[in-house]
């Protein structure tokens, strides 16, 4: 019942969107090559499913490994910058600058540097995802109340004990906010990587289908890519619920 109530508005909005899409696609003036209707998209999904799923698995692997790399590098960077003030001052502008680099331009260079395989895709996904993870984790680590840090000092806690027992757990909610953002943009990164040069993957498949004027397949690919991003976002949310159970206790507080 509550599940229905929670998701009903979303379902209605989505339904309305699909209906409008079908309506526009059915107009006589709209070219089939420009816009595939929902029905055609679903048909393409069904017909090309093995092909699409093969590609999706490749892309999912790139995304998940890239995210993992981003989390690993981001966690080390954030903790390092948090513990070492001069490092924070030195590295923060560089961190911001890393996000100003247009990935579209960088992707072909990565392919040149790392060849056609998995590596350049991982690098691009990690480059995009590293920023939200690092910045949010860093904010979380720094958000601990000064009074609490004072208390830890008076209890005789070492810097590392405070980090482990107070700052890291306190930063978890922020970290997961960053991870959710990273999860949604990670798929875009993988697609860019594949467009710059790949012989497999869903992004590659969409690009090919576009070149071959197979519009319904392009749309089917987009639907799968979107589902992948939404799925990763929800998964990150689920992981947060498991890792931060006290948030619910706080929310339920009378």
Partner 1 sequence: MATTQLRAAATEPQPAEDIAGVELRGVTRRFRSSRSGEVVALRGLDLCAAGGEVLAVVGPSGCGKSTLLELLAGLGDPDEGSVAARGITSREGRLAACAYMPQRDLLLPWRNALANAALALEVQGVAAGSARRRALPLFERFGLGEFAGALPAELSGGMRQRVAFLRTLLAGRPVLLLDEPFGALDSITRATMQEWLAEALATEPRTVVLVTHDVREALYLGDRVAVLSPRPGRLVAELCVPFERPRPRRETVTDPAFAALEERALEALEAPR
Q: Which residues form the interface with partner 1 (CB under 8 A)?
A: 145, 147-148, 150-158, 161-162, 165-166, 169-170, 244-246, 249-250, 252-253
The set of long-range contacts for 36-44, using a CB threshold of 8 Å and a minimum separation of 24, is 36/215, 36/216, 36/218, 36/219, 40/215, 40/216, 40/219, 41/216, 41/219, 41/220, 41/223, 42/220, 43/216, 44/214, 44/216, 44/217, 44/219, 44/220
- Give the nearer residue to partner 1 in terms of CB position, either 97 or 155: 155
Nearer to partner 1, 68 or 170 (CB): 170
Nearer to partner 1, 3 or 242 (CB): 242
Least distance from partner 1 to the Cβ atom of residue 162, Å: 8
CB of 149 to partner 1, least distance (A): 10
CB of 143 to partner 1, least distance (A): 13
Residues 6+ apart with CB under 8 A from 13: none
**CB closer to partner 1 out of 73 and 244:** 244
Q: Give least dist CB 69 to partner 1, A.
A: 27
Determine the length of the chain: 254
**For tokens 């009378």, what's the residue?**
254
Q: Residue 115 or residue 248: which is nearer to partner 1 going by CB?
A: 248
In the complex, what is the shortest distance from the CB of residue 152 to partner 1, in angstroms, rounded to a whole number?
7
Least distance (Å) between residue 247 CB and partner 1: 8
- Closest by CA to 38, choosing from 56, 20, 11, is 20
CB of 137 vs partner 1, minimal distance in Å: 16
């Amino acid at each position: 019942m509550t599940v229905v109530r929670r998701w009903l508005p979303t379902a209605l909005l989505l339904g309305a969107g699909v209906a409008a899409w079908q309506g526009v696609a059915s107009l006589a003036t709209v070219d089939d090559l420009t816009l595939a209707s929902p029905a055609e998209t679903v048909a393409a999904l069904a017909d090309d499913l093995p092909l699409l799923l093969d590609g999706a698995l490749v892309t999912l692997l790139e995304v998940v490994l890239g995210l993992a790399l981003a989390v690993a590098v981001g966690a080390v960077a954030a903790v390092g910058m948090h513990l070492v003030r001069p490092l924070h001052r030195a590295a923060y502008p560089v961190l911001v600058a890393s996000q100003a680099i247009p990935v579209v331009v960088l992707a072909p260079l990565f392919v040149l540097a790392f060849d056609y395989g998995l590596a350049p895709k991982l690098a691009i996904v990690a480059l995009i995802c590293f920023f939200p993870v690092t910045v949010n984790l860093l904010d979380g680590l720094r958000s601990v109340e000064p009074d609490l840090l004072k208390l830890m000092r008076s209890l005789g806690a070492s810097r590392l004990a405070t980090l482990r027992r107070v700052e890291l757990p306190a930063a978890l909610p922020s970290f997961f906010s960053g991870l959710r953002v990273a999860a949604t943009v990670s798929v875009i990164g993988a697609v860019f990587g594949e467009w710059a040069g790949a012989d497999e993957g869903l992004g590659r498949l969409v690009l090919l289908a576009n070149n071959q004027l197979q519009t319904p397949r392009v749309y089917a690919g987009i639907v799968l890519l979107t589902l992948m991003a939404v799925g990763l976002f929800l998964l990150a949310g689920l992981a947060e619920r498991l890792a931060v159970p006290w948030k619910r206790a706080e929310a339920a507080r009378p």
